Structure 1
Amino acid sequence: MKLNYLLDKLKSNGYKITEQRKTILQVLTSNNKNLISVENLLDKSKEIYPKTNMSTVYRNLEILEKLSLVYKVVTENGITLYKLVCSNEHHHHIICKKCGRTEAIEFCPINTLEKISKDKNFDLTDHKLELYGYCIDCQSSKNN
């Protein structure tokens, strides 16, 4: 997503564009291929605008999540990572466990599970599918 699109989306939903908010969005757009932790987002934001603080980062991530502009992943270690939504189309991701690099899977293999849900009288309303492993760069460094 482009920075101007994000700024327009926030404005059209009644949010002011502060320097901290703009800085957080700049960091997210420049890291659009990787998941980023709140701590890393804060550190990179402070490099651009030193007055950025943790509570502002959390507050902005909540707003972005509410507007469906960020994708939130909780790792098996309980660490929450964020990434800008890459498209409005329903899709899933392959995520590198080491560097956080994220690639979209452009289709949804959920049809079989939806049938199982219906057979069990369960009304499936949502799902996420994330595949974890190591990207080619991390595979190389893992073996060294």
Structure 2
Amino acid sequence: MAEHVTRRTAQKEAVREALRETRNFVSAQGLHRRLVDAGSRIGLATVYRQLNNLAAEGEADTIRMGGEQLFRDCGEDSSHHHHHLVCERCGKTVDIEPPSETWFRRVAQENGFTVNSHILEVFGTCADCRDRDEREDAAPPRTEGQGWAE
């Protein structure tokens, strides 16, 4: 029995560590692939379960993007409530300070709501992806038979 508990703890720790090494939001499948590539024999269902446990315990953030649930380590101070800017192309994530709690409560009250909790995620395109798009748009079209070394 103790072996089973130890195994689960070891799996959770492996998922936690892999998530800490990932700076941006990542899918369970993406994190599973990294773990397997690093030699782990952990199953995808276990990765999902452990990521959801970490999110429920406040150690991981979770968002939905493109119909997929993504996870990110909350960092050292997981008790600090925070919000994100998220690049829809590369997944780059930046913690941001939200509008004040007063703003949330005022907007809710104006619309007949009482605030129980809130989540604020702002999605867009980061400067790196925007710059890469501009460079690709400015590059001359490549014709058949044209090599990059020419």
Q: TM-score range by the shorter chain?
A: 0.7 to 0.9
SS at match of 1:71: strand
- When residues 51 and 100 of structure 1 are mapped into structure 2, their CA distance, relative to the original with a 3 A threshold, is same
Tell whether 2:8 aligns with 1:43. Answer: no
Larger Rg: 2
TM-score, structure 1 normalization: 0.78
What is the identity, as a one-letter code, of the residue corresponding to 1:84?
D
Tell whether 2:9 aligns with 1:17. Answer: yes
SS at match of 1:108: coil
Residues 29-87 of structure 1: per-residue CA shift (max 9 Å, x gap): 111x2000111101001122331111110110121112111100001x21111001133
Bigger shift: residues 37-46 or 111-120: 111-120
The 4+ residue runs of structure 1 with deviation greater than 4 A are: none
The runs of 5 or more residues in structure 1 that have no matched partner are: 1-14
State the 1:21 CA deviation.
2.5
Give the share of equivalent positions with the same residue, in percent: 24
State the 1:126 CA deviation.
0.7
TM-score, structure 2 normalization: 0.75
Q: What's the counterpart of residue 73 of structure 1?
A: 63
The runs of 5 or more residues in structure 2 that have no matched partner are: 1-6, 137-150
Tell whether 2:130 aligns with 1:142. Answer: no
SS at match of 1:112: helix
| In 2: Cα distance, 1:120 partner to 1:22 partner | 43
SS at match of 1:17: helix
Residues 66-110 of structure 1: per-residue CA shift (max 9 Å, x gap): 2111100001x2111100113322221111111111101134345
How do 1:115-130 residues align onto structure 2 when only pairs under 5 Å count? 115-130=106-121
| In 1: Cα distance, 2:18 partner to 2:133 partner | 27
Q: Is the 8 A contact 2:98 2:120 kept in 1?
A: no
Aligned length: 129
**Aligned Cα root-mean-square deviation (Å):** 2.3
Q: What's the counterpart of residue 29 of structure 1?
A: 20
Q: Is the 8 A contact 2:84 2:120 kept in 1?
A: yes
